[in-house]
């Protein structure tokens, strides 16, 4: 009887230890299987929160008029003396139109939109087709180097027709261009937009008259 009692005791002890071990392993498996799901939900919510925050920030900094982005704030680094830059921002109004295409919006143009173009008074992205979400102006042309002339001519026509009174200078840029707009504004402050002026690099291998990048309003007219 004594041996039987000992065996029974060992049996119950083994059963108890096995049950507790099985319960513990089941809990570990459950937590591990739920962790990616929880992290996924956290990541999704974080992405959604960042997108919402960016949208709210953009709505405070941009005003959308048709396909144009009107800057509401002249950005500068915190703590710097921006009095001269802010004064020139009001006096020397620059419209920046950026030549792009549907395939470049998310790889190139969005970075222009998020960086240096924030210092332009007005920004317009010119493409071959309309994209109200970005937004872009559809010029009704094709894509490719053989279409650059007509895209440029139609872009200047659009800028003058729709925003001729919103800017003093019209800057043409590409979606892989980087410009320090405040420095450009300082250079232009020494000139009047009422004169037919244009500035830029005379690049003559392909065009005898050269290529130029920015023009006064009267020159565009």
Sign of CA dihedral 63, 65, 104, 153: negative
The reported pLDDT for the residue numbered 207 is 53
The fraction of the chain above a pLDDT of 90, given in percent, is 38
Phi, psi (deg, nearest 5) at residue 140: 75, 25
* pLDDT, mean over the chain: 77
Flag whether pLDDT at 67 surpasses 70: yes
Decide which of 32, 62, 92 is a domain's last residue: 62
- For residues 17 and 107, membership in a common domain is answered with no
- For residues 185 and 210, membership in a common domain is answered with yes
Q: Give the global pTM.
A: 0.66
For residues 75, 79, 84, 88, the Cα torsion angle rounded to the nearest 10 degrees is 0
**To which H or E segment does residue 72 belong?**
none
- For residues 15 and 98, membership in a common domain is answered with no
Selection from 203, 220, 221 nearest residue 212 by Cα: 203
Sign of CA dihedral 140, 146, 151, 156: negative
- For residues 117 and 173, membership in a common domain is answered with yes
The reported pLDDT for the residue numbered 58 is 59
Tokens 């690049």 identify what position? 203
- For residues 5 and 45, membership in a common domain is answered with yes
Give 103's pLDDT tier (boundaries 50, 70, 90): very high
The reported pLDDT for the residue numbered 203 is 60
**Is the bond preceding residue 135 a cis peptide, omega within 30 degrees?**
yes
**To which H or E segment does residue 84 belong?**
helix 83-91
* Count: domains in the chain: 2
- For residues 131 and 75, membership in a common domain is answered with yes
CATH code of the domain covering residue 116: 3.90.550.50
- For residues 76 and 46, membership in a common domain is answered with no
- For residues 179 and 143, membership in a common domain is answered with yes
Flag whether pLDDT at 169 surpasses 80: yes
Flag whether pLDDT at 196 surpasses 50: yes
pLDDT single digits (tens) 107-135: 999 999 999 999 999 999 999 999 999 99
- For residues 140 and 33, membership in a common domain is answered with no
Q: Which two tokens stand for residue 132?
A: 């109200």
- For residues 129 and 83, membership in a common domain is answered with yes
Query: Domain containing 85: what range?
Result: 66-220
pLDDT single digits (tens) 177-195: 899 999 999 999 999 888 8
- For residues 53 and 71, membership in a common domain is answered with no
Q: Tabulate helix, strand, coil % of the chain (nearest 5).
A: 55, 15, 30
Tell me the C-alpha distance between 82 and 153, whole Å.
35
Give 74's pLDDT tier (boundaries 50, 70, 90): confident
Decide which of 17, 33, 62 is a domain's last residue: 62
- For residues 17 and 84, membership in a common domain is answered with no
Flag whether pLDDT at 37 surpasses 80: no
Q: Which of 5-19, 55-69, 144-158 has the lowest mean pLDDT?
A: 5-19
Q: What length does the chain have?
A: 221
Decide which of 42, 62, 82 is a domain's last residue: 62
């Amino acid at each position: 009887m004594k041996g039987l009692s000992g065996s029974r005791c060992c049996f119950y002890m083994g059963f108890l230890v096995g049950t507790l071990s099985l319960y513990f392993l089941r809990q570990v498996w459950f937590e591990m299987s739920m962790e990616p799901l929880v992290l996924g939900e956290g990541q999704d919510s974080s992405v959604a929160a960042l997108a919402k925050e960016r949208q709210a920030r953009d709505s405070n900094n941009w005003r959308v008029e048709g396909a144009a982005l009107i800057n509401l704030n002249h950005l500068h680094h915190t703590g710097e003396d921006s009095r001269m830059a802010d004064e020139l921002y009001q006096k020397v109004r620059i419209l920046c139109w950026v030549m792009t295409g549907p395939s470049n919006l998310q790889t190139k143009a969005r970075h222009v939109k998020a960086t240096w173009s924030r210092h332009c008074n007005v920004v317009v992205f010119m493409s071959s087709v309309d994209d109200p979400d970005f937004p872009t102006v559809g010029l009704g042309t094709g894509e490719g180097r053989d279409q650059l002339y007509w895209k440029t001519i139609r872009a200047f026509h659009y800028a003058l027709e729709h925003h001729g009174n919103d800017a003093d200078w019209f800057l043409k840029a590409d979606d892989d261009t980087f410009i320090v707009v405040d420095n450009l504004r300082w250079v232009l402050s020494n000139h009047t937009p009422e004169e037919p002026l244009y500035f830029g690099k005379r690049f003559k291998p392909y065009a005898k008259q050269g290529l130029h990048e920015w023009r006064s309003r009267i020159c565009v007219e």
